Chains A and B, each alone.
Chain A
Amino acid sequence: MSTIAVEALTKRYGTITAVDDLTFGLAPGRITGFLGPNGAGKSTTIRVLLGLARPTCGRATINGRPYAELRDPLRHVGALLDPNVFHPGRPGRTALRIAARPARIPGQRVEEVLDLTGLASAAHRRVGGYSLGMRQRLALAAALLGDPQILILDEPASGLDPEGVAWLRGLLRRLADQGRTVFVSSHQLAELAQTADDVVIINQGRLIAAGPMAGLLERSQASSLEDFFLGATSPDAQSTHAAFIRPRSLS
Chain B
Amino acid sequence: MRSLIAAELLKLRSTRSAWIPLAVALAAAILAVVASATAAGHGGNPPLSPAALPDLFRASGGQLVDGAVLLAWIVLSAGEFRHRTSVTTFLGQPRRLRVVSAKLAAAALTGIAAGLLAEALSAATSTAVLSAHHLPLDWNQPGVPAAVITVPLLAALYGILGVGLGLLLRNTAAALGLALMWAFVIEGILPVLIHAPGVVRWLPEATANAVLHGASATATTLPAAAALAVLAGYAVVLATGGAIVTTRREIGTTTG
Q: Is A1 an interface residue (CB 8 A)?
A: no
Query: Interface readout for A109-129 with B: 1 if CB under 8 Å, 0 if not?
Result: 000000000000000000000
A198 within 8 A of B: no
CB under 8 Å from chain B, chain A span 90-109: 90-91, 94-95, 97-99, 101-104
- A→B interface (CB under 8 Å): 43-44, 47, 50-54, 67-68, 70, 73-74, 79, 81-82, 84-91, 94-95, 97-99, 101-104, 142, 154-155
Partner of A43, one of B7, B10, B15, B253: B253
* 10 tightest Cβ-Cβ pairs between the two chains A and B: A101-B7, A102-B92, A68-B94, A52-B251, A51-B94, A82-B253, A53-B250, A85-B87, A43-B255, A102-B93
Question: Nearest Cβ in chain B — how far from A172, in angstroms?
Answer: 19
Known: A68-B95, A73-B94. Is A99-B254 also a contact (CB below 8 A)? no
B255 and A89 contact, CB distance less than 8 A: no
- Point out the residues of chain B lying under 8 angstroms from A53, CB to CB: 250-251
Asked whether, in the complex, the Cβ of A87 is within 8 Å of the Cβ of B256, the reply is: no
Q: Judge whether A87 and B10 touch: CB under 8 Å.
A: no
Are B17 and A81 in contact, CB atoms less than 8 angstroms apart? no
Min C-beta distance of B75 to chain A, whole Å: 11
Residue with the greatest number of chain A CB neighbours at <10 A, chosen from B6, B92, B94 = B92
Instruction: Kindly state the separation between the CA atoms of A2 and B11 in the bound complex, as whole angstroms.
Output: 32
Chain B residues near A94 (CB-CB < 8 A) = 10, 14
Q: Interface of B with A (CB < 8 Å)?
A: 3-4, 6-7, 10-11, 14-17, 79, 83-85, 87-88, 90-95, 250-256
Give the CA-CA distance A70 to B91 in the complex, in Å: 11
Q: Which of B11, B87, B93 contacts A82 (CB 8 A)?
A: B87
Contacts A52-B250, A54-B250, A87-B15; A73 near B92 (Cβ below 8 A): yes
User: Which chain A residues border B87 with CB–CB below 8 Å?
Assistant: 52, 81-82, 85
A86 and B85: CB pair below 8 A?
A: yes
Sample of 27 A–B contacts (CB below 8 Å): A43-B256, A47-B251, A47-B252, A50-B94, A52-B91, A52-B250, A52-B252, A53-B251, A70-B94, A79-B91, A81-B255, A82-B255, A84-B84, A85-B83, A85-B88, A85-B253, A87-B79, A88-B83, A90-B15, A91-B14, A94-B10, A98-B7, A101-B3, A101-B7, A101-B92, A102-B92, A154-B255
